[in-house]
Structure 1
Amino acid sequence: MGILGGSFDPIHVGHLALGRAACEALRLDRLLVIPTGESWQKTGKGAARTSAADRLAMVRIALDSRPQGDSPCRWEVDGIEVDREGPSYTVDTLRALRRRFGETAALVLLLGSDQMHNLPTWHRWEELLDLAHIAATQRERIPLHGLPPAVESLMAERGRDALPDAPAGNIVLFRMPPVAVSATALREQLARGEMPRELLPPGVPEYIASRSLYRA
């Protein structure tokens, strides 16, 4: 089971491309898409520009609009972090999912290369592999090398060519097609009154317009 978390502010075609690539490369049967509630990392200028409810709604729309047969695994929206009070720590989310699905279920946390570079700043990040596998991919021209020493060491110790038959504990890499899009650039375009429909899943532009989101 794959786990794709993020602020999704807004969700865009790059997020969907990452999910599709992971489902295919890792042979996942299910993908949980989990919008953050109160992000502990993104504060100030990096804070979410829209409410958790709006971001959750946009993710639902994006997943509902996906063409049939678009991906080999079943995609589901999960509001676990939106519904939980307090900061959205990934380690807490994984613990809750582990309780929900049991000790033998294979959980795979999907991370982009930007997140791998920031991993040592995450709350109790050393515990993540006790709860899930990590599958990482390169995103937005950020390489998967030159990582912090602690992450490089962990990859050397736990890195595998493919996911083993185990519930957690390993790191694998997978490829996704390059997609030139970022949520930051999207928000800037939207703030200028532009609507880059080609970068947003069907239905999301209409939701943004109806709610007057991201306007300067």
Structure 2
Amino acid sequence: MRIGVYGSSFDPITNVHLWTASTIHHRKKLDKMLFLPSSKERRDKSLMSTDEDRMEMVKLAISEDPRFELSTEEIDAPIGEQYTYFTMQKLKKKFPNDELFFVMGADILVNIGHGSWVQGEKLVAENQFIVMARDGIDMLKTISKSPLLRNADDGRFHLVDKGLAMEISSSYIREEFSRGGEPRYLLPESCYQYIMQHKLYREYE
């Protein structure tokens, strides 16, 4: 099988996350897409809801699509191993006969290329990637300018540069909730209802 590993904060998961996953699944002929919520223990993340809440929202969002599956590898990891390199090592052991691709935006590619990710060099050397376009980022130039990325550019970076520039940021949705706004149709209805029921992201009450 060809499996995509879609890592994100999912704080909260949005309709664009789902649309992106579906598009990547189709274009890259994947068999499965794993949704991998970031752990709150990561020092490079500032998350506004609990791991449990974000896992539950992902479960709700993907429950009706058999192509999608929740992965809790990062959230369940011991302290110090909540990073992508360690997660991919575990997933490769879990799916030893399958081909895994870490799915990320071009902005993440820039960060890895700058050397700012934990075990970034090993991560790049030992894995394959599907990289989604982001406005204002030249993916080929990003790879060519970084020795870390350039030296590993043997076809492991699968670039998707058309039709994925639409953005609905989770931060925008959180801000709407925090100000008493109405971002209802920017995320799955089940997640909207979960957020309302559990009063997540609210600062105005």
Task: State the TM-score, normalizing by the size of structure 2.
Answer: 0.86
Q: Is the 8 A contact 2:133 2:164 kept in 1?
A: no
State the secondary structure of the residue aligned to 1:50.
Answer: coil
Query: 2: distance between equivalents of 1:186 and 1:17?
Result: 16
Q: Which amino acid aligns with 2:91?
A: L
Q: CA deviation at 1:154?
A: 2.5
- Offset from partner CA, 1:34-93 (integer Å, 9 cap, x none): 101122212xxxx10000000000000110155xxxxxx721001111112324210000
Is 1:213 the counterpart of 2:200? The answer is yes
Task: Tell me the secondary structure at the aligned position of residue 4 of structure 1.
Answer: strand
Say yes or no: does 1:185 pair with 2:172.
yes
Is residue 124–residue 149 contact of structure 2 (8 Å, CA) maintained in 1? Answer: no
CA distance in 1 between partners of 2:187 and 2:158 (Å)? 28
Q: 2: distance between equivalents of 1:13 and 1:155?
A: 33
Q: 1:96 corresponds to which residue? A: 90
Which of residues 131, 134, 147 is equivalent to 1:136? 131
TM superposition outliers: structure 1 runs of 4+ over 4 Å: none
State which of 25, 38, 42 in structure 2 corresponds to 1:39.
Answer: 42
> Does the 8 A contact of 1:7 with 1:48 survive in 2?
yes
Deviations 1:154-185 (A, max 9, x none): 3575253xxxxxxxxx1110144332311111
Q: How many residues align?
A: 194
| TM-score, normalisation: structure 1 | 0.82
How far apart, CA to CA, are the structure 1 residues paired with 2:189 and 2:29? 26
Task: Work out the percentage of aligned pairs sharing the same amino acid.
Answer: 28
Within 2, Cα distance between the matches of 1:117 and 1:35? Answer: 20
Task: Verify the 8 A CA contact 1:3 1:109 in the aligned structure 2.
Answer: yes
Distance 1:34 1:114, change over 3 A: same
Q: How far apart are the structure 1 equivalents of 2:71 and 2:102?
A: 14
CA distance in 2, matches of 1:191, 1:112: 26
Question: Matched residues in 1 for 2:163 and 2:43: separation?
Answer: 27
Which blocks of at least 5 consecutive residues in structure 2 are unaligned?
Answer: none
Uncovered stretches (5+) of structure 1, i.e. residues with no partner: 67-72, 161-169
Where 1:49 maps in the other structure, the secondary structure is: coil
